[in-house]
Amino acid sequence: MAVLSNLGRYKDAGLLVLRIGLGAMMIFHGYPKLIGGPENWAQLGTSAKFVGLNFAPTFWGLMAALAEAAGGVLIILGLWFRPAAIFLTLNMIVASAMHLGKGDDLMTASHAIELAFVFAGLIFIGPGKYSIDKR
């Protein structure tokens, strides 16, 4: 469609919308985990066993909570965008492995799997020109 083909000019605006939406939702999911404290982090960190990390669950839980909460802020701002996207991709891989390792069906794991692909793609695309990291 000719009308929609002109939207390609606004790809940086589209990336901004994507960054704001994804970042806000990651903050929404990660902030309660972050303020949950060491007991919550230890419980969250047990998910790391599904990727072979069977030690320091409190540490891994804190890292997962930080990846989601702080990573969401960084994604929105476009600051340290690619490192944040890498950490969020890894976090979603662990979440996917946890769901599948627990015996959940693909429908239950699909949200984490989809987000892993989105963040992995954003590593290559970058934050766009409406970001602190702009070039």
Confidence at residue 135, expressed as pLDDT on a 0 to 100 scale: 61
The 3-state secondary structure of 81-130 reads HHHHHHHHHHHHHHHHHHHHHCCCCHHHHHHHHHHHHHHHHHHHHCCCCC
If the chain, 135 residues long, is cut into consecutive pieces of 10 residues, what is the mean pLDDT of each piece? 80 96 98 97 95 95 98 98 98 97 95 98 96 81
pTM of the entire structure?
Answer: 0.93
Please give the pLDDT value at position 1: 66
Residue with tokens 């990651």: 26
Q: Are 101 and 46 in contact (CB under 8 A)?
A: no
pLDDT at 134: 73
Are 75 and 23 within 8 A, CB to CB? yes
Predicted confidence at residue 8, as pLDDT, reads 80
Domain ranges of the chain: 10-125
Q: What are phi and psi of 37, to 5 degrees?
A: 85, 180
